[in-house]
Structure 1
């Protein structure tokens, strides 16, 4: 009796975030624990990345690392696509995680042996971040129906938000004590725990596989499901625009921060310290709002305006925000807009982006999603780097000019979001049956795309 009372009380507590049914509770908690541990491992490794690349005296190599990552993904994606078609589900997540764990072990032995790993580890961690998280959400989409995923993804994503907070704090405590390479060993242990945290997940859905590509299709790997699906092509464009707009916004903020600090710096005051203090406060507000949005807003938005409406929230914020920046390029305005934009991106937008793959086929959830979250995400980075380079070096752009450029991109982004929302409604409608987990899908999502 007492155990039932505790379970009921715990379930009501979780109900503050979203509705979780008794038969869903165990799997939902396991998935939340898994993404929590993945994010803890990632944030444990971030200080190591910075320490190694700066120790090599090659801070400018950061700008080249993105291009290397995009190039490597072209080589990796065909191999990944092959394995995802054979081992979709728990098998591909475990295999990818063990692969990254083995990489960390190699980095540890090379690093303690005196090898210079700055650029290589920087590139590797970028690939780890996007790929490992994509694997997790592909698995989560694989074991949920559209209906259950729309309810439960908000809570599962909360595990990731908490993992980022805990991982950052642990890294701050442990880095000075253990150093960069011993911290790799800690991250390896956390990733091993993430494998076992999943427990026994529900069986994967059948009946939604597409034929294996051959010839040039096999060489293209994960690009195949993206290129042949109008729905995935729209999501890919959405991701490119999202990342390009956000990173141009980060450049605008950085320019404004430097200008504000230089204009208000007192004699004898450290410029670096002032900039560091600003970003510490900035990220504190972003993390706080991200957690609050994830806790109390995401699932409620899904219930009131649906996934389709939630998809439009960040583009609308960007549209109004960059319009304000363009005509009122004031430091305080830019700061508030970027706090709101980033916290919305890390909570509402990120969760909604994962939900979009719920009605997809197995290829779409694994190979397609991984391609979009890695290759197309990095294309957004490359595009913004080109915009900033041309704007600064040849066009003489000021802060307001970059904001106007982002305003134009935000209009296009909003139009793409509207198209995706309509497609999602068509795809998810027939699959939005009640029930906790996958196995109910009888026809491939491609049928709904025609």
Structure 2
């Protein structure tokens, strides 16, 4: 009966996602894991945005710089943990650590101890948390699924996160004013603990099916590093792996340009929203409304479009869609730097990122080794992204200092978006070459076994 139910569910899901036999349990637990992870984060995100303004809009570049240096300290610690603990242990450990941090922030905010300073620290902390938590999730996904599977399934898995991103802001919109921002932290902590339970169930599903819950990955893991064993290596191995690989360096540059575009838009949003309202609760609701719109749009696109689009057109065009959206959005802001325009721009670019370009970017990591997935990927997602954030923040502040208005800054970014598009298309071609080479290599290794049988 259980097998019949699973078959029926798989056939029903096949209407929206190309799931194949043997993939269903891994797919559903991955969906649930990402749902609760992002639901927890998106309860916190509007609180972060309000605290960023509470700490002073003029201080945002300092907060971004502080975030980068915290990342520099955190990445070697993460590398040491990954090198010494198997996947089934270090993934829950990372999330439990962040939940403990949330409880500490809740106590400090509830007791009203140095609220402005706590707000600034919280802004930095949640930026670190977001990148680490999501990077660990997608490293896990790239470890479990092959490149061909990623093209089919990552859009649906990402929809789990988008559903969570829809629930989180809805909770915040309803509770931000009656409960206050501080008490939302406990809600987020509970959601993150449920995400850990889903990750553990996914790990058990993987163990029941052997080393991989689904098909053999396109690139084999390094010898001596199965999923149940520590990866080994040095605590700075991620940086070394990144510097040695032009492919990984290209992904790092793609991420850096994403950070630049996102930071410039975030700073423009902060200036426009701060001018629109001085009420913290109202500003929190504005940010939550943006998140709610993004969640609704993203989940529709991920369920109905993403898998088909990436499978048909490839990773490059999908990753290149976001630079086009940013270019159009910055032109719109140059014409009219109004609250309605920045809300629409944020909603559209984040939908394009989460629904199309981000799943495509994660497919890029399915054709690298396991050590690169967990170590180099984390350096890219965390250090490179936040480093580019910090540099972009100071660049924006410098442009404002010399007297440039928001319209002029918006236009200055547009040519950079064109270079970003060209890079995305090049990375897509490189991923396809690696996938074909890996498939040929795997086929050659299987032939002697077949003859011997």
TM norm structure 1:
0.80
Q: Matches of 2:46 and 2:287 in 1, distance apart?
A: 16
Cα separation, 1, equivalents of 2:431 and 2:93: 30
Distance 1:6 1:232, change over 3 A: same
1:211-230 equivalences in 2 (<5 Å) = 218=235, 220-230=236-246
Give the SS at the match of 1:23. Answer: coil
**Alpha-carbon distance in 1 for matches of 2:417, 2:291:** 23
**1:208 is matched with which residue: 204, 210, 222?**
222
Q: 1:167 and 2:168 equivalent? A: yes
Q: Determine helix, strand or coil for the equivalent of 2:22.
A: helix
Shift of 1:52: 6.0
2:100: which partner in 1? 102
The Cα of 1:37 is off from its aligned counterpart by 0.9
For the structure 1 residues 29 and 418, does the alpha-carbon distance in structure 2 shift closer, same or farther, using more than 3 Å as the test? Answer: same
Q: Please tell me whether the aligned partners of residues 286 and 339 of structure 1 are also in contact (alpha carbons under 8 angstroms).
A: yes
Q: Please list, as runs of the form range in 1=range in 2, the aligned pairs for 1:378-417 lying within 5 A after superposition.
A: 378-394=386-402, 396-417=403-424
Give me the whole-angstrom Cα distance separating, in 2, the residues matched to 1:410 and 1:419: 14
Q: CA deviation at 1:101?
A: 2.2
| Cα drift, residue 213 of structure 1 | 5.6
How do 1:290-439 and structure 2 match up within 5 A? 290-319=298-327, 322=330, 339-394=347-402, 396-432=403-439
Q: Say which is worse superposed, 9-18 or 357-366, in terms of deviation.
A: 9-18
TM-superposed deviation, 1:302: 1.5
- Evaluate the alpha carbon distance shift between residue 5 and residue 60 of structure 1 in structure 2; reply closer, same or farther with a 3 A threshold: same
Partner of residue 136, structure 1? 137
- State the Cα distance separating 1:109 from its structure 2 match: 4.6
Query: Residue 398 of structure 1: CA displacement?
Result: 4.0
Deviation at 1:90, TM superposition (A): 2.8
Q: Please, which of 55, 59, 72 is the counterpart of residue 74 of structure 1?
A: 72
Q: Deviations over 1:145-192 (max 9, x none)?
A: 112222111111111000111112223344555555554333333222
CA contact (8 A) 1:145 1:432 kept: no
The corresponding residue for 2:34 is 35
1:445 maps to: none
Whole-Å separation in 1 of the counterparts to 2:50 and 2:293: 25
Q: Distance in 1 between matches of 2:282 and 2:169?
A: 21
Equivalence for 1:234 = 250
SS of the residue 2:437 aligns to: coil
In structure 2, the residue matched to 1:288 is: 296
Q: Distance between the aligned counterparts of 1:274 and 1:174, measured in 2?
A: 12
Aligned CA distance change for structure 1 residues 49 and 315 (closer, same or farther; 3 Å): closer
- What secondary structure does 1:356 align onto? helix
Q: Map Cα deviations across residues 87-107 of structure 1 (whole Å, 9 max, x no partner).
A: 353322112112212323433
| Residue deviations 1:372-429 (CA, integer Å, cap 9, x gap) | 11111112322332332232221x4344432332121112212221221222112222
Map of 1:20 onto structure 2: 19
Q: Which structure dedicates a bigger proportion of its chain to helix?
A: 2
Query: Post-superposition shift, 1:313?
Result: 1.7
Is the 8 Å Cα contact of residues 173 and 289 (structure 2) preserved in structure 1? no
Gapped regions of structure 1 (runs ≥ 5): 262-269, 434-438, 443-450
* Higher mean C-alpha deviation, range 157-166 or range 238-247: 238-247
Give the structure 2 partner of residue 64 of structure 1: 62
Q: Which residue of structure 2 lines up, in the alignment, with residue 193 of structure 1?
A: 194
Q: 1:318 to 1:160 in 2, by over 3 A?
A: same
Q: Does the 8 Å contact 1:61/1:119 carry over to 2?
A: no
Deviates more, 1:70-79 or 1:339-348: 339-348
Q: What CA deviation, in whole Å up to 9, does each residue of 1:30-78 have, x standing for no partner?
A: 11111111112112233554566677x6565444221111101111211
- Residue 47 of structure 1 contacts residue 175 of structure 1 at CA under 8 Å; is this kept in 2? no
Q: Is the 8 A contact 1:130 1:374 kept in 2?
A: yes
How far 1:258 sits from its partner (Å)? 8.7
